Structure 1
Amino acid sequence: MLKALLFDFDGTLLNTNDLIIQSFMHVLEEKFPGQYKPEDCLRFMGPSLTETFEELTPNEVEEMTLKYRKWNIEHHDELVKEFDGVMETLEELRALGIRLAIVSTKRRDMIERGLNLMGASHFFELIVGIEDVKNVKPDPEPVLLAIEKLGVGKEDVIMIGDNSHDIESGKNAGVKTAGVAWSLKGEEFLNQFNPDYMLQHISDILSIVKES
């Protein structure tokens, strides 16, 4: 029987799409005036900031990361919002006895900030952030760490996310995976990575849990 759900955070539970795109546009427009459009930033969503800036500005990774985070933090609360049905679904999952964790490439303090803003901190017994692992998604390490800390079997877990990195990390760890159709990159994009489930709405996870 299904015992635990591992959720990505940005783009899965909390709609941070505008925040992330505007944060990237702020730093990239300053560094490369006129060279990037908002849609160009889609490919930077999923990888860690270090990975992205190692590609874009290999000699200024730390500086660009700090600039991104500064703008992102200053505008966080005004630009994010929860996706439809998240709180109600998390409440019902808890009532069903399902254990919940966050597995993200985001910093723990920013995950906690988003959860507090949503009023959802109490639903999650575990957060795996970027500082908790050596290798981020799509490496299996974050998912395997969550499984180890929760003390559950691989067969008892689903990794849920809005990006290819989430699906690949789950598959690499040997657990079932679910993509979310509200991903900014689109359902068709995620289907290329063959998740076990595709959620059209977050409440779809309830029927999967009940049938497991």
Structure 2
Amino acid sequence: MTKALLFDFDGTLLDTNGLIIETFMHVLNERFPGQYQPQDCVRFLGPSLAETFKEIAPDEVDELIGKYRAWNLEHHDELVKEYEGVVETLEKLKEMGLRLAIVSTKRRNTIARGLEIIGATHLFEVIIGVDDVSHVKPDPEPILLALEKLGLNQSDVIMIGDNSHDIEGGKNAGVRTAGVAWAFKGKDFLQQFNPDYMLNHMSDLISIVKEA
């Protein structure tokens, strides 16, 4: 029986892809003029900022993260939007008795801001951000922490996300997983990681939890 749903945030519940890519372009063009194009930043969707900037400029990680967060925060509200049907479906799932949680590589305060924008703050019982863990997805730590806070077992939940880190993290934690077809990298990309379910629309979760 499915008792709870764990959601990634960026690219799953909130369309932040444009914001993320524009933020990376701002930071990288300032530091490495002309070396990056928007399509180069697609691979940065999913990993933590620390992982990404460690790969790009290992001696400047903290400085680049600071610049990223400053620009991202300034432009956040104007560049993000809800995916169609997300909040409506979350409300129905909550009414059905499902417990909802977020497991993200974002900081908790930024997650809270996004939830406020789409009017979903009241729906989530547990929020796990990058500032709550030592290791981010695909490490199982954040998902296992969410289970601990919910008081549930691996068999009770599904981890839902738009990136390989979400699917692999779920598998590493021993929980069922679901990919979302609206992922920026595409449905075919996610299918490579063999999620248990694939959502073509957020409302598909309603039938999935009923069957499960």
Q: Normalization by structure 1: what TM-score? A: 0.99
Summarize the alignment of residues 110-149 of structure 1 with structure 2, pairs less than 5 Å apart.
110-149=110-149
The residue type paired with residue 9 of structure 1 is F
The answer for the alignment partner of 2:106 in structure 1 is 106
Q: CA deviation at 1:170?
A: 0.2
Q: Is 1:180 the counterpart of 2:180 in the alignment?
A: yes
**Cα distance in structure 2, aligned partners of 1:150 and 1:156:** 10
Summarize the alignment of residues 26-45 of structure 1 with structure 2, pairs less than 5 Å apart.
26-45=26-45
The residue type paired with residue 139 of structure 2 is D
Query: What 5-or-longer segments of structure 1 have no aligned partner?
Result: none
Secondary structure of the 2:35 match is coil
Secondary structure of the 1:127 match is strand
Q: CA deviation at 1:152?
A: 1.0
Q: CA deviation at 1:34?
A: 1.1
The residue type paired with residue 93 of structure 2 is L
Q: Is 1:69 the counterpart of 2:87 in the alignment?
A: no
Q: CA deviation at 1:178?
A: 0.1
Deviation per CA, 1:151-191, whole angstroms, max 9, x where unpaired?
A: 11111100000000000000000000000000000111101
**Cα distance in structure 2, aligned partners of 1:87 and 1:136:** 26
**Cα distance in structure 2, aligned partners of 1:127 and 1:69:** 20
The residue type paired with residue 77 of structure 1 is D
Q: Which of structure 1's runs of 4+ aligned residues deviate more than 6 A? A: none
The residue type paired with residue 42 of structure 2 is L
Secondary structure of the 1:100 match is strand
Secondary structure of the 2:92 match is helix
Summarize the alignment of residues 4-43 of structure 1 with structure 2, pairs less than 5 Å apart.
4-43=4-43
**Cα distance in structure 2, aligned partners of 1:134 and 1:64:** 20
Q: Normalization by structure 2: what TM-score? A: 0.99
Secondary structure of the 2:165 match is helix
Q: CA deviation at 1:33?
A: 1.0
The answer for the alignment partner of 2:50 in structure 1 is 50
The residue type paired with residue 123 of structure 2 is F
Q: CA deviation at 1:18?
A: 0.4
**Cα distance in structure 1, aligned partners of 2:117 and 2:188:** 31
The answer for the alignment partner of 1:194 in structure 2 is 194
- Identical residues among aligned pairs (%): 71
**Cα distance in structure 1, aligned partners of 2:27 and 2:109:** 21
Deviation per CA, 1:80-103, whole angstroms, max 9, x where unpaired?
A: 000000011001001000000000
CA-based RMSD: 0.5
Q: CA deviation at 1:15?
A: 0.2
**Cα distance in structure 1, aligned partners of 2:179 and 2:211:** 18
Secondary structure of the 1:97 match is coil
Moved more, 7-16 or 52-61: 52-61
Deviation per CA, 1:5-26, whole angstroms, max 9, x where unpaired?
A: 0000000000000000000000
Query: What 5-or-longer segments of structure 2 have no aligned partner?
Result: none
**Cα distance in structure 2, aligned partners of 1:87 and 1:109:** 19
**Cα distance in structure 1, aligned partners of 2:70 and 2:135:** 24
Aligned length: 212
